[in-house]
């Protein structure tokens, strides 16, 4: 019982961001592993496909080397910014250190932490099916979170995690992708707006996409986002929802964010046909689209009874997409674990799998050669 309550408390806090301001957003098996082909796919995936040959990192052994691959999961500690940090590295079965392997960096939400986020996203198990390495880092603070600032220690830590992985393992540097939930989605967005945009091929923020007005991406980064219209933490229409008041204070004092959230507007629904506000989820995606050279208005397609896909017309390889979950809460689509805590985070759609949709999108958007 105590463990269940602890998990629920942690998941209740799997939202928000370090500061309120950030919320507003100023062939053969070897070939399959190299390209991530294989396993289940989603019929709602993107239509654009870019062919880019696998790019081997320095950790790749010469072809024909007698290798000793070590699949499975490890908890690794590193010194970063003068403090000890840790992350989980999950290497898929069938890994071959002569074959460049895609990587997915999977970021937890506010107070959720890496351990619980592994249960939420199930990205490690999905990586075993699809043949990619999963990296699940842990944030900082007594209430684990991510600092999304452009020069933050967290961005330096994540850069180090990628550097170490490319040096020690056979990584396809054309297929490094990032996803995350809530505060982790905000960190995902920040990664696509900084120096790592030159290394990350595509991103998939879940329930927390943002874009600062001083975004400094080095290239147009393709993005596929997911968000529920009944998210009570981060409103689909912009701003914070009423459930933010229940979140723990970031200092670990045992208090909550009730006072800080009390002056924010409650979750509301924009009038039908109204233009989305700049800080709404579609408004944020529209800014991504504008930056990527896309159309100003998306085309909408119903892909399930409760899911609508919004697609902006973009230059090939720079696509921007949103999966709007009607009545969906602050959840990870397709997550059975998320579904178990409906009283905490709201309804979870099982009509689509965020993992499958984003993986299809990732496969269609490798890093262009020469980027």
Positive or negative: CA dihedral 329, 331, 336, 341: negative
Share in percent of the chain as helix, strand, coil (round to 5): 30, 20, 50
Residue 34: what pLDDT? 38
What is the Cα–Cα distance from 337 to 11, expressed in whole angstroms? 10
Q: Which domains does the chain have, with CATH numbers?
A: 11-39+70-363 (3.40.50.1820)
Cα angle value 298/366/363 (rounded, 5°): 75
**pLDDT-flagged residues of the chain (< 50):** 1-49, 260-274
Residue 91: what pLDDT? 97
Residue 275: what pLDDT? 56
- Helix axis angle for 123-130 and 354-363, nearest 10°, is 50
Q: Cα 217 to the chain's mean position, in Å? A: 17
Enter the pTM of the model: 0.85
Residue 339: what pLDDT? 82
């Amino acid at each position: 019982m105590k463990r269940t309550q602890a998990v629920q408390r942690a998941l209740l806090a799997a939202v928000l961001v370090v500061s309120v301001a950030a919320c507003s957003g100023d062939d053969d098996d070897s070939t399959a592993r190299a390209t991530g082909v294989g396993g289940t796919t989603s019929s709602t995936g993107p239509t654009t496909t870019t062919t880019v040959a696998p790019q081997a990192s320095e950790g790749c052994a010469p072809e024909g080397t007698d290798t000793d691959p070590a699949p499975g999961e490890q908890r690794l500690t590193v010194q970063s910014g003068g403090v000890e940090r840790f992350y989980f590295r999950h290497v898929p079965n069938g890994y071959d250190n002569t074959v460049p392997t895609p990587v997915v960096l999977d970021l937890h939400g506010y107070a959720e932490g890496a351990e619980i986020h592994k249960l939420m996203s199930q990205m490690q198990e999905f990586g075993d099916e699809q043949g990619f390495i999963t990296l699940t880092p842990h944030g900082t603070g007594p209430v684990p979170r991510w600092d999304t600032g452009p020069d933050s220690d967290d961005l330096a830590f994540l850069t180090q995690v990628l550097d170490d992985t490319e040096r020690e393992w056979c990584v396809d540097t054309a297929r490094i992708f990032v996803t995350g939930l809530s505060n982790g989605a905000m960190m995902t967005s920040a990664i696509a707006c900084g120096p790592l945009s030159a290394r990350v091929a595509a991103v998939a923020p879940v329930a927390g996409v943002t874009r600062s007005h001083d975004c400094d991406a080095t290239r147009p980064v393709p993005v596929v986002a997911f968000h529920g219209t009944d998210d009570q933490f981060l409103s689909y229409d912009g701003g914070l929802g009423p459930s933010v008041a229940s979140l723990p204070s970031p200092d670990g004092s045992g208090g909550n964010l009730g006072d800080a959230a009390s002056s924010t507007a409650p979750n509301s629904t924009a009038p039908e046909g109204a233009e989305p506000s700049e800080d709404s989820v579609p408004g944020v995606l529209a800014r991504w689209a504008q930056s990527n050279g896309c159309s100003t208005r998306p085309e909408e397609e119903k892909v399930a009874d409760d899911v609508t896909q919004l697609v902006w017309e973009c230059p090939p390889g720079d696509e921007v997409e949103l999966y709007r979950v009607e009545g969906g809460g602050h959840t990870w689509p397709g997550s059975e674990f998320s579904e178990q805590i409906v009283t905490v985070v709201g309804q979870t759609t099982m009509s689509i799998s965020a993992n499958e949709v984003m993986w299809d999108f990732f496969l269609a958007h490798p890093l262009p050669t020469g980027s």
